[in-house]
Structure 1
């Protein structure tokens, strides 16, 4: 049985670090913004495309029988629904892990943005 692990948490909580310790295909919406030179070039107007890309990549990997770990903020419960649906579709074991660490965030997300995300957080 394949496994889909969702890692959720605010920016700087340790999601990517934890995902890198799991033996699975590691995906994040932020990967969509990494150019061919390996530089992170965030474009806020393309965030919906980034999440769609992440979901498509997840589905492709599950269809191939690979375990997948997705590390996104998933601030609200509805943001995980597409992944729950994929787990059901591919009969994958689903694990949801919440990160609560406080590290520097590698993408330069402002303190105000993080505070707004924290205010919207759903357990």
Structure 2
């Protein structure tokens, strides 16, 4: 799944999930969801992505299907860990985007997104949204060096656990 905040990704993901009884939706946003509500902290984004990668790996190991990654996935390299895992385990990879009339309207996206992402941030995300996308494009993409510098070294699988609250 890919799309800007408020574009209808989660709605589409829930619709797609209804086709597979053993499937699940995994989102990096879940890391920031607590009983008290949603509390995004930019400094924890690398950890949140690692946590979601680990959950995805566990779900694939368990044979769950479909596994829907409900993230923004604006650039091809952001999808690469998930696509690589899927290919390594024999999963079919589909890229889905909402087909809403407002999916590239920052004013409407600001109103519709559930996490309070401001219009300015949405516009920045829109500027870096890459087209087209395919398995080959994703697998040949590279994470920009400036992103690598912000991310903490990845912990071995199982080192970090997080329960839903």
**TM-score, structure 2 length as denominator?**
0.67
2:38 alignment partner, SS class: coil
Output the CA distance in 2 between the equivalents of 1:56 and 1:71.
15
RMSD of Structure 2 on Structure 1 (CA): 1.2
Partner residue, 1:109: 117
Poorly superposed stretches of 4+, deviation over 6 Å: none
2:96 alignment partner, SS class: strand
Out of 3, 9, 15, the residue aligned to residue 9 of structure 2 is 15
Output the CA distance in 2 between the equivalents of 1:25 and 1:66.
7
Note the residue ranges of structure 1 that are not aligned, 5 or more in a row: 1-6
Kindly report which structure 2 residues correspond to 1:27-38, keeping only aligned pairs within 5 A, or say none: 27-35=26-34, 37=35
Output the CA distance in 1 between the equivalents of 2:77 and 2:55.
19
**Number of aligned pairs?**
116
Partner residue, 2:81: 82
**TM-score, structure 1 length as denominator?**
0.89
Say whether residues 1:70 and 2:69 are aligned partners: yes
Larger radius of gyration: 2
Say whether residues 1:49 and 2:43 are aligned partners: no
Output the CA distance in 1 between the equivalents of 2:69 and 2:129.
18
Higher relative contact order (CA 8 A, sep 6+): 1
